[in-house]
């Protein structure tokens, strides 16, 4: 069997399954294990049902992280979009220990308030898939990376040519999360929302790309996001980075080189934290660069296959406090 770096391998035998990391980054963190834990001191095992079988998951004795970063939707919050008491307690414990806690999300800054309320803590945030660094404690935008007007117009023309019938939208930011100086989320009349309770301002098509934006959103009802990315990405010629955080026909484009990884790297540099000492959690393709960048990337059990393949470890679902399950190795309230 040929294995690639960072790949999780699941072996099945006698009705049992167990997973272990391959050589490479995982081996550096003690991820490589063997059958039944033979020759593996300082490890204990949990078992939990997976597809009717039992999966043996190594509880790794990693050094205490110097920073924790997590995605929000599908990761930190549960299916009711709430921070559960268990997760809130685990986060509070690491904060009390002086460890920086960072949100890394596709959400714009104006959608951070409910998460802050749920946590009872206002963290630094990587928003807009890495395009914005936002201090939720002071309600200040610290850094932005934007697509310029020319690039937005070029992408719009390209998208409408290769994805006929698509709608366009753009995310903008001001100096704070709720800066009312300019509409922050503008959409063309053809844009059909992929989520409930949208807060967009509908404008003429040309107005969508009339000002720089932290990201452009392209929506095609009835399409799969992965298919849209596969069609558009080869045509972009490096003029934008493309990702998605939902499978429902919505792709998101940012300035070249911008991702959750680049945003988290900016925060880590500000705080003097090395990437190898960071633990990060995620569930969708927009989390993949971040999961690959950090010392220990954790995907949720409910995560997209691309996120699971990029991670060093798979925890429980967001509905089962998967983030807290990992954090409690180091911190308990």
Query: Which residues face 101 on adjacent strands?
Result: 68
Question: In degrees rounded to 5, what are phi and psi of residue 267?
Answer: -65, -45
* Euclidean distance between CA atoms 123 and 283, whole angstroms: 20
Q: Are strands 44-50 and 53-59 parallel, antiparallel or unpaired?
A: antiparallel
Kindly give the parts of the chain with pLDDT less than 50: 1-59
**Total-model pTM:** 0.82
pLDDT digit string, tens, across residues 130-158? 999 999 999 999 999 999 999 999 999 99
Alpha helices in the chain (DSSP H): 25-28, 85-96, 113-119, 149-162, 205-208, 225-232, 260-271, 288-293, 305-310, 322-327
Tokens describing residue 166: 């698509």
3-state helix, strand, coil in the chain (%, to 5): 30, 25, 45
Give pLDDT, residue 181. Answer: 67
Q: What is the DSSP string of 198-254?
A: ---EE--HHHHTSS-BSEEEEE-TTS-HHHHHHHHGGGSTTSSEEE-S-SSSEEEEE
**pLDDT given at position 28:** 35
Contact yes or no for 10/1 (Cβ under 8 A):
no
Q: Is 243 left (phi over 0), alpha (psi -120 to 50) or beta?
A: beta
Residue 301 three-state SS: coil
- Convert the pLDDT of each residue in 254-290 to its tens digit: 999 999 999 999 999 999 999 999 999 999 999 999 9
Map out the domains of the chain with their CATH numbers: 8-59 (no CATH), 67-144+259-327 (3.40.50.1000), 149-254 (3.30.1240.10)
Distances (CA, A) of 222 to 157, 188, 191, 195, 243: 21, 18, 13, 14, 18
Residues 70, 281: contact at Cβ < 8 Å? yes
Look at residue 192 in the predicted model and tell me its pLDDT. 86
Q: What is the predicted pLDDT for the residue at 196?
A: 58
Structure tokens at 6: 């960072």
How are strands ordered across the β-sheet holding 67-70?
140-144, 132-135, 124-127, 101-104, 67-70, 278-282, 296-299, 313-314
CB 215 within 8 A of CB 241: no
């Amino acid at each position: 069997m040929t294995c690639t770096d960072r790949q999780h391998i699941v072996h099945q035998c006698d009705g049992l399954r167990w997973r272990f990391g391959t050589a490479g980054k995982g081996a550096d963190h003690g991820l490589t294990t063997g059958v039944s834990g033979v020759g593996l001191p300082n490890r204990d095992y949990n078992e939990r049902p997976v597809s009717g079988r039992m999966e043996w998951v190594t509880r790794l004795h990693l050094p205490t992280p110097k920073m924790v970063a997590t995605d929000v939707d599908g990761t930190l919050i549960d299916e009711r979009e709430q921070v559960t008491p268990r997760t809130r307690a685990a986060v509070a414990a690491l904060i009390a220990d002086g460890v920086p806690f960072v949100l890394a999300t596709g959400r714009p800054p104006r959608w951070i308030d409910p998460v802050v309320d749920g946590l009872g803590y206002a963290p630094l945030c990587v928003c807009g898939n890495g395009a914005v660094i936002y201090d939720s404690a002071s309600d200040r935008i610290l850094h932005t990376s934007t697509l310029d007007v020319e690039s937005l117009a070029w992408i719009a023309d390209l998208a409408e040519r290769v994805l006929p019938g698509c709608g366009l939208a753009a995310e903008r930011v001001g100096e704070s999360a709720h800066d009312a100086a300019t509409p922050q989320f503008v959409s063309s009349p053809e844009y059909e929302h992929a989520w409930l309770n949208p807060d967009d301002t509908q404008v003429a098509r040309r107005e969508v790309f009339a000002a720089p934006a932290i990201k452009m959103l392209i929506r095609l009802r009835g399409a799969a996001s992965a298919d849209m990315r596969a069609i558009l990405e080869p045509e972009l010629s490096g003029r934008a980075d493309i990702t998605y955080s939902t499978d429902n026909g919505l792709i998101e484009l940012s300035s070249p080189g911008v991702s959750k990884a680049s945003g988290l790297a900016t925060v880590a540099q500000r705080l003097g934290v090395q990437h190898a000492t960071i633990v990060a959690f995620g569930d969708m393709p927009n989390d993949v660069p971040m999961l690959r960048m950090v010392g220990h990337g954790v995907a949720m059990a409910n995560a997209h296959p691309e996120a699971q393949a990029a991670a060093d470890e798979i925890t429980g679902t967001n509905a089962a406090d998967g983030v807290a399950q990992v954090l409690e190795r180091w911190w308990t309230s």
